[in-house]
Chains A and B, each alone.
Chain A
């Protein structure tokens, strides 16, 4: 393994160790729940970036998260299925809907695609809010079970109902999903996506079915958004008007900002953005009204000063250091 590879592995291990140790060190329910939502956000932005690898950007990721959340909640509540079954089903439904929508949507590009996804997410959110018989409308869904007892091969029966236990479950699911997303990006499929982003006409000319690969990227990203939604639903334990607000345009805005502030060019960028900005948001809690404003100012300053995002900082420092020393 070369040096860069070693650094990558070390950084990953360090981040995971830190994530495992954090709730034990802080031992507060509040911070554990903050970390849980940060981990879910990390999955959402990382999968959002998958759509960016085909050169499109989505403003509707949160809609697929909403689909996943309601699917998992309703299946545990009405069909009595265990969480271990409903979570993949949540992802699957979100992925299938994205697959069906992908064909008409991918006929347009750029801003148009972004607008369509935005409309999709708003429609899904309003549907969840207005379909009273299924989702409870304004009263919401209350009292669906948490993750409960899951049997894990090699470990036996484990109870994930507690806050800390659920955090670890979320962390494990998200780490596995991130690993899959990362491997996909480095696979042949990922390189095909890149080829489409760089030159879609060229890719089409050498025999790549551009439309199909685009739809696949969109579906995979939405699958993981659905998983994120499922994790979110059983973390909140209730999907009411408060939750439908968190499936709204504001969350889309935050996801987009996390992605670009972190740095869209590399896999780790958006995850870093999600972690750093969520922590900034949390530490700004004393001035609650101005939390969004602080994030907005950071977003604007980032695109003005370092458009590459946080991951571009080392590069910048490397370029500036010799000039400063001379």
Chain B
């Protein structure tokens, strides 16, 4: 299929922006799964709520987007703390019950969002106006570049937090060996709460980026959730570089494959991708036992 250089770059940069949104989802999911051993199925709904919270903060209360996003992340992070305490902590013994609780939460939040916000699609204010010039004659929208920059920045902050601070190291320890961490005086509940708070805040940021570049609606969460979960499998659990690599690959598949090979093949390619990875390395690209 013939495509112009302009279309190619447009698809690539769209894919990268999408991919980084998926990475933000996946980082939260892998943090929560690593420490709480829970598949947070409602993470997509948290992402959706993040977008709506920021929508009301910026469009109704007329706050600037930056401030609104920070406040939104804070609110959604606190929501995460509440959810961890009231819903997931009592269920941490039985993982299937926890999944069902998360799934029930998905239904509640989704139908609540439909009842409160309505089904129609909305848009957040754009991140940046106008095109951005790469390589002379090719232009891509500037907001995609800003979105990637924001996501890279947040991932970097998370990385530094996990590597260089006392709490971050405690979280890593708790994920690697919960019993050992308890012996060192690291409370598992505290770490679970922290991971849920940070994970939800990251999801909210992802939701804001998606709501600003694309559209937001009550069902926006499920697709990103599936992609976020897939990234964990491909990249390997608990691996930040794995998540980033897998996220960008999936984003580029989503951005480029439909224009290169048509929609039908594009919808099967993530599946083929994960099968190839599994056959070669079942633990994921950067995973370990």
Q: Which residues of A contact B (CB under 8 A)?
A: 57, 101, 104-105, 107-108, 110-112, 114-116, 118-120, 122-123, 126-127, 129-132, 248-250, 253, 256-257, 260-261, 264, 289-293, 295-300, 302-304, 307
| Contact, CB under 8 Å: A299 / B275 | no
- The interface bits of chain B over 244-287 (1 if a CB of A lies within 8 angstroms of the residue's CB, else 0) are 00000000000000000011101110110011001100100000
Known: A249-B222, A256-B99. A119 touches B104 (CB 8 A): no
Chain B residues lying within 8 Å of A115, measured Cβ to Cβ, are 39, 229-230, 232-233
A56-B41 Cα distance, complex, nearest whole Å: 17
**Residue B20 interfacial (CB < 8 Å):** no
Contact at A257–B100, with CB atoms within 8 Å?
yes
Q: When chains A and B are docked, how far (Å) is the Cα of A130 from the Cα of B41?
A: 26
* 6 A-B pairs closest in CB distance: A296-B107, A126-B267, A299-B104, A130-B263, A296-B104, A296-B108
Distance of A49 Cα from B115 Cα, bound (Å): 33
Contact between B33 and A111 (Cβ–Cβ < 8 Å)?
yes
A123 to B282: give the CA distance in the assembly, Å.
20
List the interface of chain B (C-beta within 8 A of A): 33, 39, 41, 87, 90-91, 94-101, 103-108, 110-112, 114-115, 222, 225-226, 229-230, 232-233, 262-264, 266-268, 270-271, 274-275, 278-279, 282
> Smallest CB-CB separation from A112: which chain B residue?
B233
A sample of 21 inter-chain contacts (CB < 8 A) reads A57-B99, A108-B278, A115-B233, A116-B274, A118-B226, A120-B271, A123-B271, A253-B103, A257-B100, A261-B100, A290-B115, A292-B111, A293-B112, A295-B104, A296-B107, A299-B103, A299-B104, A300-B87, A300-B101, A304-B91, A304-B101
Report the bound CA distance from A256 to B98 in whole Å.
12
Residue of B91, B115, B232, B271 with most chain A CB atoms under a 10 A cut-off: B271
> In the bound complex, do residue A130 and residue B107 qualify as a contact, i.e. CB atoms below 8 Å apart?
no
Min C-beta distance of B12 to chain A, whole Å: 21
- Which A residue sits closest to B38, measured CB to CB? A111
Residue numbers in B under 8 Å from A261 (CB-CB):
100
Neighbouring A residues of B111 by C-beta, 8 Å? 289-293, 296
Instruction: Decide: A119 and B96 in contact? CB cutoff 8 A.
Output: no
How many angstroms between the C-alpha atoms of A296 and B100 in the bound complex? 9
Instruction: List A contacts of B278 (CB < 8 A).
Output: 104-105, 107-108, 116
Question: Is the beta-carbon distance between B270 and A257 smaller than 8 angstroms?
Answer: no
Residues of B within 8 A of A256 (CB): 99-100, 103
A114–chain B nearest beta-carbon distance, Å: 7
Chain B residues with Cβ below 8 Å from A131 are: 264
Q: Which residue of B lies closest to A128 (CB)?
A: B267
Nearest CB of chain B from residue A190's CB, rounded to whole Å: 20
Does the CB pair A303–B268 fall under 8 Å?
no
- Cβ–Cβ < 8 Å partners of A132 in chain B: 264
Question: In the docked arrangement, what's the CA distance between A118 and B96, Å?
Answer: 15
Q: Give every chain A residue within 8 A of B263 (Cβ-Cβ).
A: 126, 130
A252 to chain B, nearest CB (A): 9
Distance between B264 CB and nearest chain A CB, rounded to angstroms? 4
User: Which residues of the partner chain B approach A298 to less than 8 Å between Cβ atoms?
Assistant: 104
Measured CB to CB, the nearest residue on chain B to A57 is B96
Residue in A126, A130, A260 whose beta carbon sits within 8 Å of that of B100 in the complex: A260
Residues of B within 8 A of A107 (CB): 278-279, 282
- Distance to closest chain B CB from A136 (angstroms): 13
Q: Contact check: which of A123, A260, A293, A295 meets B97 at CB < 8 Å?
A: A260
Q: How far is the CA of A291 from the CA of B115 in the complex (A)?
A: 11
Further pairs besides A253-B107, A303-B101: 5, Cβ < 8 Å: A119-B226, A119-B271, A293-B107, A296-B104, A299-B104
- Verify A130–B267 contact, CB threshold 8 A: yes
Q: Give A120 to B275 CA distance when docked, in angstroms.
A: 10
A105 (CB) vs chain B CBs: closest residue: B278
Taken together as a complex, chains A and B put the C-alpha atoms of A126 and B230 apart, in Å, by 16
A122→B119 CA distance, assembly (Å):
22
Q: Are A119 and B270 in contact (CB under 8 A)?
A: yes
Known: A107-B282, A303-B91, A303-B97. A295 touches B107 (CB 8 A): yes
* Chain B residues, Cβ within 8 Å of A290: 111, 115
Task: Specify which chain B residues have a CB less than 8 angstroms from the CB of A260 in the assembled complex.
Answer: 96-97, 100
Which residues of chain A come closer than 8 Å to B96, judged between CB atoms?
Answer: 57, 260, 264
Nearest chain A CB to B237 CB, angstrom units: 8
Known: A292-B110, A299-B100. A116 touches B233 (CB 8 A): yes
Give the docked Cα–Cα distance between A295 and B95 (Å): 20
Chain A contacts of B222 at CB under 8 A?
Answer: 248-250
Closest to A264 in B: B96
A295 smallest CB distance to B (angstroms): 6
Cross-chain contact A297 with B233 (CB below 8 angstroms): no
- Distance between Cα atoms of A296 and B45 in the complex (Å): 13
CA distance A248 to B219 in the complex (A): 12
Bound-state CA distance A226–B173 (Å) is 45
- In the complex, residue of chain A having the shortest beta-carbon distance to the beta carbon of B232: A115
Cα distance A129–B101 when bound, in Å? 30
Flag if B115 contacts A299 (CB, 8 Å): no
Q: Do the beta carbons of A104 and B275 come within 8 Å of each other?
A: yes
